[in-house]
Amino acid sequence: MQVQVSGVGKTYPDGTRALDAVDVAIASGDGVVLLGANGCGKSTLLKCLLGLERVTTGRITIAGVDIGRARRREVLRLRRSIGSVFQQFNLVGNLTVFQNVLFGRLGSDGLFASLAPTARPELRDRAVACLERVGLADLARRRTDTLSGGQQQRVAFARMLMQDAKLVLADEPVASLDPKAGREVMDLLFEIVRERQMTVVCVLHQLDFAVEYADRIVGLKNGRVAFDAPPAALDRAALDSLYDRAADSASARTEDPHVSIAEARAAATV
């Protein structure tokens, strides 16, 4: 799915200007990682892409649909093919894993087709297949809130597979996971994305992950695109400018372990 963001600005009702003028064109099958300091507008941009927030100026077109001006029904139809991944997984905690996966069909098949007792056998089989893909088929009957964070994020991926998403919008998918679970989750996410040829836009704070998984890195600063290039081009100068650090400030670097790791990797790949 193609995403076209042109001149997008977003001002919240309280006067906060989260996005100034963002221009990005994302081609089908692109793996984009969004970087930027806290408050640079990454999450706002993601919400605007989903149509959860309305843009103030400019326009966002996804697969030819202008989501700022489309009717609600059209937006709902578009959202069916957009999978979302959240920092806190956003699963319904006191339902089973199986039921949460089936909810991937809620948009396209409606309520009764997506409830575990009333779903058609094909959909139930598919839900099991999706759980198998993320390696959790044996946990199908467990209550979702009894799973670990990494497992819950994999359930969310299974829900996204069930949804048959073409575009994945991920908002800091590993922010609430430990490094080991974070790596497993990132590996799985990008495996799935690549094998299904999905387009992905992923907000990350971990620069080492960004450099490792992205085809292309888009850096936001003060509500504008400040960097847009393949990961190999993300050198120290670009990082310093993106995160507003003095170029030779050693203390700033040691405060943020992720940044120093990523710098090492970036230096190695250049």
Partner 1 sequence: MSASPKPAPPPRFETPSVFVWVVALAFLAFFIQGLIGANVNLERLLRGASNMGRFLGEAVPPSMDRLDVIAWSMLETLNMAIVGVTFGVLLSLPMALLCARNTSPHPLIRVLAINIVATLRTIPDLIWALIFVVAVGLGPLAGILAIIMDTIGFCARFFSERIEEIDPRPATALSAAGASRGAVVAGAILPECFPSFVATSLFSVEKAVRSAVVLGLVGAGGIGVELTSAMNLFRYKEALTIILVVLVVVIAVEQLAGAIRRRVI
Query: Binding residues for partner 1, per CB under 8 A?
Result: 50, 52, 76-80, 82-84, 86, 88, 90-95, 103-104, 106-108, 110-111, 114, 156, 159, 163
The nearer residue to partner 1, 10 or 105, going by C-beta atoms, is 105
- Torsion angles phi and psi, residue 183, rounded to 5: -65, -45
The nearer residue to partner 1, 146 or 254, going by C-beta atoms, is 146
- Shortest distance in whole angstroms from residue 197 CB to partner 1: 20
- Shortest distance in whole angstroms from residue 183 CB to partner 1: 23
CA–CA gap between residue 95 and residue 144 (Å, rounded): 6
**Consecutive H or E run containing 136:** none
The nearer residue to partner 1, 69 or 255, going by C-beta atoms, is 69
- Shortest distance in whole angstroms from residue 107 CB to partner 1: 3
Q: Which residues make Cβ contacts (< 8 Å) with residue 248, sequence separation at least 6?
A: none
| Contact criterion met (CB below 8 Å) for 200 and 168 | yes
The nearer residue to partner 1, 3 or 239, going by C-beta atoms, is 3
- Shortest distance in whole angstroms from residue 261 CB to partner 1: 30
| Contact criterion met (CB below 8 Å) for 114 and 103 | yes
Tokens representing 226 are: 């400040």
The nearer residue to partner 1, 103 or 243, going by C-beta atoms, is 103
CA–CA gap between residue 32 and residue 8 (Å, rounded): 18
- Shortest distance in whole angstroms from residue 90 CB to partner 1: 4
For residue 24, what are the β-bridge partners? 5
